[in-house]
Amino acid sequence: MGDGVEGNASGRIEFPMSDFLRAEFHVHTVLSPCADIEMIPPLIVEEALRKKIHILAITDHNHTANIEAVQKAAKDTPLKILPGMELQTSEEVHVLCLFDELDQALAFQKIVDAHLPNIENNIEYFGEQFVVDETGDFIRREERLLLTSTTLTLHQAWEEVQALEGLFIPAHVNRQAFGLIPILGMIPLDTPIEIVEISRHLPVEKAAMLFPQIQNLPLIQSGDAHFLEDILGWNYLSIPEISLKDISEAIKSLCPQKHQIIPD
Amino acid sequence: MNLTLGEIAKALNLELLTQSKDWEEIRPSAGYTSDMLSCVMAGAPHRGIWITLQAHMNIIAVAALLELSAVIITEGAQPEPSTIEKANEKGVILFSTKEGSFEVAGRLWEMGLRAMPPEE
């Protein structure tokens, strides 16, 4: 996984904006039925390092079973894997739920499990849902269909993520399918959403014009990676430490010295 | 259209979730169904009756914005108490039914309601 990646004394990778870390907050693994078979831990880590990404969140649909394998694959590299999940709420809205520690994500999983309908995955229609180890080897199939709505409402999900001190970021809010704005029309008043994700196809400068509902909200932009090439790392962060607190403060600051979205 | 909400609620056995005066005499202009609120904002007819299984609080804002005559929440989806409270505050009429949206729309069509308000 060498090419062009050089760690310095502090373990940080050198790249043009030397104080900034590249981050990608929305990556699926082979556990998500719609993700490509190449989305296995060693290849995800290799691709991220190749693109000089420092922070990468694993966000499978309604599940967390492959996070630890990716964390193990990233061990002893400069890449920090954030545990996460792309939750589907009862309103059919997708939300990135990010955590600092694996234990928090696993605690959230228990809540989600209790709210996930027991529908068997139809592999032919939806695709395989593989749990794998850090080398990408098969461990088991997840039998329950993950690409479906939980019975958690957006507000309930927000409360649960708050209680676990996670970060709650509605995903691709501009998208017709599973995006908050098309589905709910506007940011709900009862849920203090602080950051939203826009999809890679919506230029940041057009977001506020096309979607005035989000014009005052801090944005992130992600690849929603189902293929290796979708791992973008367009979020650049200047933060004291890699923690959710510092990440969210930098994004919410709306300050270009702390967070910028720079498409390749 | 002479059909009233009172007649509709009785015929379809709808459960009224909100409190409003004289709701029975309201006459919806037309019918509409969608679960995507952005589409509803763009497409639902003024003073129409909206059929949806979406029970999120934002349905109240949309219904108030378009001055819809009522919202029928289908498939037994239950709005939160705070949503019902909001509806009362904004004067939005909410019904609930265990039936699906297709069934409700079909019954309303049989009773004479259409997608567009009748020509004056």
ipTM of the complex as predicted: 0.83
Look at the block and give the residue holding tokens 């394998």: A69
Inform me whether the C-beta atom of residue A190 falls under 8 Å from chain B C-beta atoms: yes
Q: How far is B7 from chain A (nearest CA, A)?
A: 30
Q: Is the pLDDT of residue A10 over 50?
A: no
Closest CA to A259 of A186, A181, A194: A194
Best of B39, B53, B56, B85 to substitute, by most chain A Cβ atoms within 10 angstroms, is B56
Closest CA to B5 of B22, B23, B17: B23
Q: What is the DSSP letter of A165?
A: T
The answer to whether the beta carbons of residues A172 and A198 sit under 8 Å apart is yes
A contacts of B62 (beta carbons < 8 Å):
185
Q: Which alpha helices (H) appear in A135-210, and where do they start and end?
A: 154-163, 180-184, 204-210
CA angle, residues B38, A62, A185, in degrees to nearest 5: 10
Residue A8: predicted pLDDT:
44
Neighbour-count burial of A80, counting CB atoms closer than 10 A to its CB (0-12 exposed, 13-18 middle, 19+ buried)? middle
> Taking CB atoms and an 8 Å limit, are A184 and B37 in contact across chains?
yes
Written as six digits, the tokens of B98 are 């265990």
Q: Mean pLDDT across the stretch A36-50?
A: 98
Residue B117: predicted pLDDT:
87
Q: List strands edge to edge, sheet with A235-237.
A: A167-170, A94-98, A80-88, A53-61, A21-27, A235-237, A259-261
Residue B2: predicted pLDDT:
82
Q: Is the pLDDT of residue A1 over 90?
A: no
Distance (Å, rounded) from C-alpha A74 to C-alpha A229? 18
Strongest mean pLDDT among A14-18, A165-169, B113-117: A165-169
Look at the block and give the residue holding tokens 């870390």: A21
Q: Mean pLDDT across the stretch A2-11?
A: 44
Domain ranges for chain B? 5-110
Q: How many CB atoms lie within 10 A of CB A199?
A: 17
Does an H or E element contain A198, and which? Answer: strand A196-199
A contacts of B39 (beta carbons < 8 Å):
182
Instruction: Number of A to B CB contacts under 8 A, please give it.
Output: 39
The answer to whether the beta carbons of residues A225 and A39 sit under 8 Å apart is yes
Interface of A with B in 81-100 (CB under 8 A): 91-92
The answer to whether the beta carbons of residues A174 and A203 sit under 8 Å apart is no
Residue B118: predicted pLDDT:
82
Q: Is the pLDDT of residue A52 over 50?
A: yes
Best of A158, A190, A213 to substitute, by most chain B Cβ atoms within 10 angstroms, is A190
CA closest to B52 among chain A residues: A91
Please name the member of B35, B38, B56 whose beta carbon is closest to the beta carbon of A181: B38
Tens of pLDDT along chain B (120 residues) come to 589 999 999 999 999 999 988 899 999 999 999 999 999 999 999 999 999 999 999 999 999 999 999 999 999 999 999 999 999 999 999 999 999 999 999 999 999 999 998 875
Which residues are paired to A222 by β-bridges? A199
CA A83 to chain centre: 8
B contacts of A91 (beta carbons < 8 Å):
54, 56
> Taking CB atoms and an 8 Å limit, are A188 and B38 in contact across chains?
no
CA closest to A184 among chain B residues: B37
Residue B1: predicted pLDDT:
56
Inform me whether the C-beta atom of residue A181 falls under 8 Å from chain B C-beta atoms: yes
Closest CA to A246 of A44, A46, A54: A54
A10: left (phi over 0), alpha (psi -120 to 50) or beta: alpha
Q: How far is A203 from chain B (nearest CA, A)?
A: 20
CATH architecture of the domain with range B5-110: 3-Layer(aba) Sandwich (3.40)
* Domains identified in chain A and CATH numbers: 21-261 (3.20.20.140)
| Long-range CB contact pairs, A253-259, < 8 A, 24+ | A253/A218, A254/A218, A259/A218, A259/A235
Q: What are phi and psi of A148, to 5 degrees?
A: -150, 165
The answer to whether the beta carbons of residues A214 and A208 sit under 8 Å apart is yes
Residue B120: predicted pLDDT:
56
B contacts of A189 (beta carbons < 8 Å):
57, 61
CA closest to B42 among chain A residues: A185
Distance (Å, rounded) from C-alpha A84 to C-alpha A161? 11
pLDDT digits (tens, 9 = 90+) for A172-230: 999 999 999 999 999 999 999 999 999 999 999 999 999 999 999 999 999 999 999 99
Angle, helices B101-110 vs B5-12, to 10°: value is 120
Distance (Å, rounded) from C-alpha B73 to C-alpha A94? 22
Written as six digits, the tokens of A221 are 């932009």
A contacts of B54 (beta carbons < 8 Å):
91, 183
Written as six digits, the tokens of A14 are 């050198």
Q: List strands edge to edge, sheet with B49-52.
A: B15-16, B94-96, B70-73, B49-52, B31-33
Expressed in angstroms, the distance from the first to the final Cα of chain B is 10
Written as six digits, the tokens of A64 are 């967390």
What is this structure's pTM? 0.89
